[in-house]
Amino acid sequence: MKNRLLGLGLGLLIATGASAEGMEERLRTQLRSTAQQLQALQSQQAQASAAQLAAQNEAKAAQAQIKQLTAELAKAKGLAEQLAGQQQSLHSQAQAQVAASAEQTGKFKKAYDELLVLARAKEAERSKLQAQLAERDTQVQQCSVKNQQMYGVAKQILTAYENIDVAEVMKIRQPFAGSARVKFEELAQGFGDELYKTQFDAPQAALAH
């Protein structure tokens, strides 16, 4: 009986020892798993911290860039306003120059029209004077011809006077020398007609043309 109890006790001890060893192994395994999980969590935390620091640095860089871009935008806006003011000033100056040019062009056109009217009047006056000059030239030519004719008649009179017979003159003074008187009167009438023909009448010459 004692041997049986001793065997049972020994078996219980062996079973209890074996169970204790299995529990310890499980605890060790669980401890290793927990340690691994802890290491993984620590690694994730470190990565998260690094990512957070990188995000903070990126946020600071973005804020600095936003600040720089805001300053550049304000500068560009000021430059755009300045350029707009200059453009408006140039536009106003251009409008003023266009108005002044239009006014000057109007003055030039008015002066040109006045000069054109004056030139046409002067041209008409020149044509009139040229016609009058041509008429005067014609009259001078006619007068020259008449002078030549009158000179010829005068030479005829002088020749007739040089060749007159004293006896014929004496007959003219006698009461009954009618034939001689008629002869000299006819000669004088002929010379008178010739002299009349050689007279130059400018208005009549103008009417003839």
Per-residue pLDDT of the chain (209 residues; tens, 9 = 90+): 545 555 555 555 555 555 666 778 888 888 888 888 888 888 888 898 888 888 899 889 989 999 999 999 999 999 989 998 898 989 889 899 889 888 998 898 999 999 999 999 999 999 999 999 888 888 888 877 877 877 777 777 667 665 665 555 555 555 545 555 566 566 667 666 666 666 555 555 445 55
CA distance 158 to 44: 159
Cβ of 106: how many Cβ atoms within 10 Å? 10
Side chain identity at 29, as an amino acid letter? T
4/16 Cα distance (integer angstroms) = 18
Residues 6+ apart with CB under 8 A from 57: none
Measured between alpha carbons, how far is 35 from 198 in angstroms, rounded to an integer?
160
In this predicted structure, what is the pLDDT of residue 2? 46
Location of structure tokens 């006056």: 125
Residues 6+ apart with CB under 8 A from 143: 200
Q: Give the integer Cα–Cα distance in Å for 99 and 106.
A: 10
Q: From CA 178, how far away is CA 120, in angstroms rounded?
A: 70
pLDDT at residue number 195: 61
Other C-beta atoms closer than 10 Å to the C-beta of 147 total 12
pLDDT confidence of residue 16: 55
Name the DSSP class of 174: S
